[in-house]
Amino acid sequence: MPSFRLTALIVTTLGLLAAAPASAAEKMTVSQYGRIIGTLPWAVALHKGLFKEERLDIDGIVTSAGGGTSVRNMLAGDLPYAVVATPAALAAVRAGVDLIIVNAESNHIGELSWASRPGTSVKTLADLAGKKVAFTAPKSTTEMLLRMVLEKNGLLGKVEILSIGGLGPALTALAQGAIDAGPVTDPVLTLQADRYHVLFVAAEQIPKVTWSVGVTTKAFARANPDKLRALIRTHRRAVDYVYANRAEAAEVYAKVWEIERSHAEKIIPKYYDFRHWSRGDFDKEGLEAMSTGMVVVGEIDKPVDWNSVIDQSFLPEDMRRPL
């Protein structure tokens, strides 16, 4: 072949290759990503290259305000696997969504608290009677926990509770006096403690609750079992990394949450004491608390049959538990 024709062929071929669309990277849905510390392992997975090590082409994480929004984002997004609040997952299943729960994200609610403004008449949990108290979104973990705590303390039905749209809007509404109390968590709870008067810490009222889970569609699980296992494995590795590399975890936390490194190092230690992050295995006590909470929320009228909604077959064998 004449050299000029060979050169032309090479140039044409390279042009076609350059014009061919590359396979698009996927984005994963994680409820409250970058807002609550429970999502830190996924930030570590993204920033420390764990997705790539598991041959997963994920280049970003999509957040949401919680509740059913996260499920809708997952179904409309690139990747039919998401981290969502357990009540939202169960609500989707009951609504007929082809969904299964495949791993646990956390069995401890962390520092989530309800607080009022300093200087108001609302100084104790009992003072909430007749007041306006917010949660983030309908069917969210915050609604469930709030109702459980109010019921436990004889206040359910005596407090006006309302959905506020997220943790950020709750802080705004509280500052403006539109509500009397609302959910507050880190980093705000630790770094701006003087702005809030804590009425109760959820974990002191309910020590264990499986509030966050990984979900997918049955169709995706059937068609992509290896990819699903890789996602679960990535999360497990990220959790192990967080526990084993505290300085690096604080660095990622500071970057994603956009706070100073010194502040991150002030916030994180207590979460190690909580054993806040689950490697993926389910906790029976935490599931039972969630079931009770769903009854309190009014979503169900009998305990959850966890074996009907949880599929542990994608977990490593050493992480499978009797439910």
Q: Which domains, ranges and CATH numbers included, belong to the chain?
A: 26-108+209-319 (3.40.190.10), 113-205 (3.40.190.10)
What are the residues facing 106 on neighbouring strands?
Answer: 212
Q: How many CB atoms lie within 10 A of CB 171?
A: 20
Residue 304 has pLDDT above 90, yes or no: yes
Residue 172 has pLDDT above 50, yes or no: yes
Q: How many CB atoms lie within 10 A of CB 259?
A: 16
In this predicted model, what pLDDT tens digit does every residue of 55-85 receive, in sequence order? Answer: 999 999 988 766 677 788 788 877 999 999 8
Higher pLDDT, 144 or 216: 216
- Listed range (17-31, 126-140, 192-206, 209-223) with the worst mean pLDDT: 17-31
Residue 50 has pLDDT above 90, yes or no: yes
Mean pLDDT of the region 36-41:
94
96: left (phi over 0), alpha (psi -120 to 50) or beta: left
At position 249, the amino acid (one-letter code) is A
Q: How many angstroms separate the CA atoms of 32 and 39, rounded? A: 7
For position 23, what pLDDT does the model report? Answer: 52
For position 65, what pLDDT does the model report? Answer: 65
Token code pair at residue 180: 């009397």
Contact 180, 132 (CB under 8 A): yes
**Model confidence at 119, in pLDDT bands (50, 70, 90)?**
very high
Mean pLDDT of the region 123-151:
92
Token code pair at residue 104: 């646990």
DSSP-based helix, strand, coil % in the chain, nearest 5: 50, 15, 35
Residue 21 has pLDDT above 90, yes or no: no
Mean pLDDT of the region 217-227:
96
